[in-house]
Each structure stands twice: as structure tokens, then as C-alpha cells.
Structure 1
């Protein structure tokens, strides 16, 4: 049996004012073409199909067209919701997508979690928000990681009699290497599930949530993040992107990592102000989108230089960042995406009350933070 594993599509993602949907469509077309040529029977989508809880019409059309193209070549699709996906929205499209042989699992459930075809069983664990995973367990005093681990054990027991057994999950696994494009509140120690929780009953664990392709080496079975399908922002500039092919025929699966080509790769140029014009031809010849970080030597000459860059590079130039020598050694103002809300709250609590943040308050803070993120 032949499977493909992808994750973190983030349909509707933007970079500044630029839509990344063309980049996603380019990646998905490669997945469809590969599935067609290889005779893929099942495609696993490990969450974060959309970038926002309420996706725009263009993004929905892109994803539904992808599903229909897979139906036309005879590939079934199994999808779980990620932390960017709305449970309710994913539930609302389940009936429609079944027409395209797409099976959606919108939230953690002990009743609706199993996809089965032939000798394959896929146990599905959509992103387990703290509110859902705690509410589903009689012992709410257990840690988040313990509750998730318990749920995974239940899923493993449910599929153990199948010949081929897969866990499809959207989780943060402790020790995994993440980028700067994941929501920081969801990759803190509090949400870290131990690799040992990925039961060896499963032959393969298809993970989503972390945007960098990697194998979880400490897991007791084959466990992979395939990462995002394209470079989501400039923190991923230079990163290659992949999906996995899984072939079940013997006791152990055969896993092949397939590299994707990028429609608009991201590049960052770090240049001194006086050398900008000498690098202009190189920047023009660089494919994709650009971010230029300029070490400023004379602020008075910057406005015409920036105007020249925008004129010469046009839509290729997404962002210009200026750094002055006087900025060295100063803490500055971090980009909002680099802030860790939990860390900031711990520091505030220590400063305000002279002691460490109690565990029960930390747990409540994270619960409220997730609720707030879900409403954005």
C-alpha cells in the first residue's frame, strides 16, 4: 500500500501584502502529479490546512480543487485539523468533502477517530487544544502531555490488530527542531509531548505542526514531521521543502523523502549601505522574493536609496530592514512573532510578586491564550 504524508499547507498565508497561495498551489500540483505517477492510494494531511480559522474564498477554492484532482486519480485523502484550523469550520465541510473521497477529523474524539481501508488503519488525532483534551478526560489534574499520551495509548490499542498501523497527529513533540513560523504559545514546554508517547504499536507516525522536515529519532517507531510545503516567511529562507512517501509491504515501512521545487523561494541579503548598488544585479537575478537588511552608514542617503531599490526590484522586494551601529547592544523591540507570551508573563509575575509563576496559574494562562488565538 502506497501513502503520501504532507502537512502545514497554510492556505491563505500572506507575506506582507503578497498572497502565498500561488506558492502553495505550485507545491500541491507536484504532490498530485507524484501521486498520479506513483499510484498513491492514501494521502495523509497532518493539519493546518488553512492559515486562518475563517479562510477566504480563494483559499477554500484552492484546497477543494486539490481534493478533486486527487479524487480524479483515485487517491483517498485523510485530513486532521491543526491549531490554525477551526474545529467548527472543518466540521462544516466534512459532508461536502466526502464527495471527493476526503475524510476529515475535525477534533479529538474517542468515537470518530479511525480511517480504515484494506489492511491499513489510521488513528487520527487532530490538534488537541487544552480545553478539549482536558474536558475529554476524567482526571483534569494531569498535565497536558500526560493527557495527550493517554489519548495516544487509546488510539494505539484501537488499531493494534491491523496489519498496517498509522498515527496521524498534529502535535509538538519535545526535542523537535522548530522554525520561527509556528505560533510560539503552542511550542512551549507546557505543550511538549514526549517522543516515548508515540507508541511502538504504530508502524508510522505522520506529524504536523512543526514546519521543518525531520525524523523524531527518540520515538519508538518511525515518526516524521514533513514540515510546510513552501517557505512561509523569511526565517525559512534557504530551507528546502519535502513530503514523505510511505510504502507498506513487509513488516517495516519503506520511507522516501521527496523534495519539492519552490515557485518563489525567499532570500535575505545582508548588505552595507555603501555596497547596495554593487549587489543590485545579483538581487535582480535572484529568483523569488527578497528581504534586504541594510547596515546604515548615512541615514540622510537612505530615502533615495530605498526608492531606487523599490523601483529596480519591484514586486520582488517584500521587506527592507535598516540596522544602525547605534542599535548594537540595545535590546530593541522584537518583532511580535518572536515574543513568547508565557515567558513574558512569567517575568511579569516574578517582578510583581517576587516568586515563580504557580503551575495552576500558568495552566490557566495558556488555556486563555489558546482561546484568544482561536478567536482571531
Structure 2
């Protein structure tokens, strides 16, 4: 059996106001072509199809066109919701996508075994997929309510709560089929890209899974959420394919890929990385103020997208700098002054890496002293509600300020 694994499309992504959706559409067309030429029996998409819970028409066209191309090739698939997706919105089109062979698991169910999907391949084999969509701590508490669990305990023990779902999904595996797990989550040891918003926070708090929690019966664990391609567990084999294009300048220089898994029932899986060529290259150029023109003139043939960081003494007034840069490099999306020197001059004002909670505490401390416990709790609750967005949909974990 040959299964193609991809994730993190982020259709609708705007980078400094520049719409990346046409590039994402190209990448999805390339992936659909690879699924056909590599004779994939199924495709797994591990979340974050869209960049926002209310995607544009262009973003929806890019994603749904991808599924139609798979339908035309006779290739079925399984999709889960990620933290950037609206689970309710994906759930609303589950029936329609089912008509083109795409099974969607957008929201958790009271019985986790209802999240197990089966695909009968053209070769007569069965693929069993335990599909776990993204679950924030708050959504996990809601799921615990459905299951009659102690919500107070589950709120404090995200990892144990997720382990419950993973164990139950593993119970759906069969000895006569190929067994795979899908999840949109962060596994211990995962290395983020520079653009994984909130991921640095994710990797240092309780919102992670241990590789030891992954069901042993899974021959392959198809992960999404981290944009850097990598293997995070060997037993069971668990991989992130990464995002399909360089989504932000933090991903500049990364080679993008999808994973092709060759596997048969009861045997170890083999993973092959298939490189992707779509998407414009992102590059960050750091240059001294007096070398702006000379450095940019050497990039005349560069057709990617640029971020130019200009090093200058703190407090330097630079009128017309952006116009100077854009005149030589019209493909520049951002022109920034090097913040490092300002941070060195005023270290007490450095904001990089601070969460919203930490920034609020600093703001209150500078004006009124220590933040009262009731205000801290109220701010945290408001922040969590903001992350969930309209209708209780999660938009991701708290972001550190960059």
C-alpha cells in the first residue's frame, strides 16, 4: 500500500498583506499530481487546510480543487481539522466531501472509535485510520464533559486527556489492515520553524504529547501542526511532512515536501520524502545602512520574496528608507530596522518572546504594581476565548510577541 501524507496548507495565508494562496494552489496541484504519478492508494491531510476559520473564496477554491483532482485520479483521502481551521465549517461540508471520496473528521465525538475511518484500496487492502483533530485544552474539557470525566482534573492534565483519545483510537486498529494514526498536535522533541506562530510557547508548556503515548499498533503516525519536516518518533514511526510552501520568513531556506509511505499489514512502514517545487523562495537580507544599494543590486535576478533588515545605530532617523529599498527590489515585502541594538540600549523594554499574559503583567506592574489574582484570571479567560474565536473555534495557542 502507498499512502501520501501532507498537512498545513494554510490556504488564504497573507504575508505582510501579500496573498500566498495562488502559490499554495500551485503546491496543491503539484501534490495531487504526485499522488497520481506515485500511484498513491490514499492521501492523508493532517490539518490546517486553511489559515483562518473564515477563509476567502480563493482559499476554498484552492483546497476543494485539490480534492476534486484526487477524485479524478480515483484516490480517496482522510482529513482532520487543525487549530487554524473552523471545525464547524469543515463539519458542515463533510457530506459533500464524502461524495468525492474524502472522509473528514472535524470534531471529537463522545465515542472516540467513531473517529476511526476505513478505506478499501484498489489493491484489495484495508487502511484503518484513527483520526484525531486538533484539541485545545478548553475543547478537551468539553469533550471530557461528554465522556463524564472529571473536567477539573482534565484541565490540568492535557497530556493524560489526549492519551485517553489516543488509546481509544488504537483500539480501533485491526491485525488484518494497515493501521495509521492522524493527529494535529505537538510531540515532544519537535523542532519548529521560525514561522510556527505560538509554537515556541507550545514546546515549553503542557500542550505537548510524548512519543510514548502514541499507540504501539500504529504503523505510521501522520502528524500536522509543525511546519518543519521531521521524524519525531521511530517506534511507532511518527512524522511531520511540514507546510507545503515557505509560509513566512522564518521558513526561509527550508525545503518543502510530502511523505510517501509504503506499508503492508503487519510490516514496518517505509517513508520517502517527495520534494515540492512550488512556492516562491523567502529570504531575509541583513545589511548595514551604508550598504543597502550595493547589496540589493546583487539580487536583481532573485524572483522570490524579501525581508530587508537594515542595521543602523539606535535612534537613527531614516526617512525614505523603504522607498530606497523598493526601488531596487520591488519584491520586498518588509523593511525593518535591526531591533537588536535598541534592545541592547533598553534591555528592560525588550518584548521578544513574551506572551500576552506576560506583557499585560508588565503593563500593570509599571503603572500600578502587582497584578491582582482576579484580574490575572479574567485576562487569561478572555485570552482563551479570543483564541477560540467565533463559535468556540480555536485559532491557536497564545503567541509570543516577536
- Does TM-score exceed 0.5, indicating one fold? yes
Runs of 4+ in 1 over 3 A off after TM superposition: 185-188, 297-302, 331-335, 341-351, 364-370
1:327-338 alignment to 2 at 5 Å?
A: 327-329=342-344, 330-331=346-347, 332=349, 334=351, 338=353
Shift of 1:263: 2.5
Shift of 1:325: 8.2
In 1, the alpha carbon distance for the partners of 2:60 and 2:13 equals 12
Paired residue secondary structure (2:114): coil
Paired residue secondary structure (1:122): strand
Q: Decide whether aligned partners of structure 1 residues 294 and 19 sit closer, same or farther in structure 2, where only a CA change above 3 A counts.
A: same
Q: Decide whether aligned partners of structure 1 residues 189 and 305 sit closer, same or farther in structure 2, where only a CA change above 3 A counts.
A: closer
In 2, the alpha carbon distance for the partners of 1:175 and 1:62 equals 32
**In structure 2, which of residues 177, 182, 205 is the aligned counterpart of residue 168 of structure 1?**
182
In 1, the alpha carbon distance for the partners of 2:317 and 2:360 equals 41
Shift of 1:312: 2.6
Matched, 1:340 2:351: no
Matched, 1:245 2:256: no
1:285-364 alignment to 2 at 5 Å?
A: 285-296=301-312, 302-314=318-330, 316-323=331-338, 327-329=342-344, 330-331=346-347, 332=349, 334=351, 338-341=353-356, 344=359, 352=370
**In structure 1, which of residues 132, 138, 159 is the aligned counterpart of residue 139 of structure 2?**
132
Q: Decide whether aligned partners of structure 1 residues 303 and 346 sit closer, same or farther in structure 2, where only a CA change above 3 A counts.
A: closer
In 2, the alpha carbon distance for the partners of 1:206 and 1:326 equals 42
Shift of 1:367: 6.4
Q: Decide whether aligned partners of structure 1 residues 151 and 232 sit closer, same or farther in structure 2, where only a CA change above 3 A counts.
A: same
In 2, the alpha carbon distance for the partners of 1:181 and 1:234 equals 7
Shift of 1:242: 1.3
Q: Any conservation in 1 of the 2:361–2:371 contact (CA below 8 Å)?
A: no
In 2, the alpha carbon distance for the partners of 1:353 and 1:277 equals 48
**In structure 1, which of residues 260, 275, 280 is the aligned counterpart of residue 276 of structure 2?**
260
| Cα root mean square deviation, aligned | 2.8
Shift of 1:75: 0.9
Correspondence for 1:26? 26
In 2, the alpha carbon distance for the partners of 1:115 and 1:266 equals 37
Shift of 1:347: 7.4
In 2, the alpha carbon distance for the partners of 1:264 and 1:339 equals 31
In the alignment, structure 2 segments of 5+ residues that lack a partner are 121-125, 391-402
Paired residue secondary structure (1:176): coil
Shift of 1:160: 3.9
Shift of 1:173: 1.2
Matched, 1:181 2:188: no
Correspondence for 1:105? 105
In the alignment, structure 1 segments of 5+ residues that lack a partner are none
Correspondence for 1:146? 160
Q: Any conservation in 2 of the 1:267–1:290 contact (CA below 8 Å)?
A: yes
Q: Any conservation in 2 of the 1:43–1:76 contact (CA below 8 Å)?
A: yes
Correspondence for 1:43? 43
Shift of 1:97: 1.3
**In structure 2, which of residues 291, 296, 299 is the aligned counterpart of residue 283 of structure 1?**
299
Shift of 1:71: 0.5
Matched, 1:115 2:138: no
Paired residue secondary structure (1:159): coil
Correspondence for 1:192? 208
Q: Any conservation in 2 of the 1:114–1:124 contact (CA below 8 Å)?
A: yes
Shift of 1:341: 3.3
TM-score (normalised: structure 2): 0.83
**In structure 2, which of residues 162, 166, 170 is the aligned counterpart of residue 156 of structure 1?**
170
Q: Decide whether aligned partners of structure 1 residues 347 and 305 sit closer, same or farther in structure 2, where only a CA change above 3 A counts.
A: closer
